[in-house]
Amino acid sequence: MQLHYDDAHAFVNKTRGAFWDGWDIVLWKPNSNGMTSKTGMFRNGKWGTARRYPVLNDGSWAVPGVRH
């Protein structure tokens, strides 16, 4: 499902571990294996893994499993 601007902001605001990095939506989940993972990220004093969803050419974001 693709999220358009307003839906993307609503999704980030209501989803735990979601945040903006520039125009990318980032979904971060705590995970002790994050320290050695290619998708690892240290955030708020904890290791976790992150998935990044960049804005597409049409101005939307394709985030798997998200319905609006």
- Flag whether 67 is in a domain: no
pLDDT, tens only, 9-55: 999 999 999 999 999 999 999 999 999 999 999 999 999 999 999 99
46 in a domain, yes or no?
A: yes
66 close to 4: Cβ distance less than 8 angstroms = no
Q: What is the pLDDT of residue 23?
A: 97
Assigned domain for 34 exists: yes
Residue 68 lies in a domain: no
Q: What is the reported pLDDT for 1?
A: 76
- The predicted structure's pLDDT at residue 68: 61
Torsion of CA 20, 21, 22, 25, to 10 degrees: -50
Domain with 24, as residue range(s), is 2-62
Sequence-ordered list of residues with C-beta below 8 angstroms from that of 48, at least 6 positions apart, any chain: 17, 28, 29, 30, 31, 34, 40, 41, 42
Query: What's the structural domain count of the chain?
Result: 1
Model pLDDT, residue 66: 79
End-to-end CA distance of the chain: 8
pLDDT attached to residue 26: 98
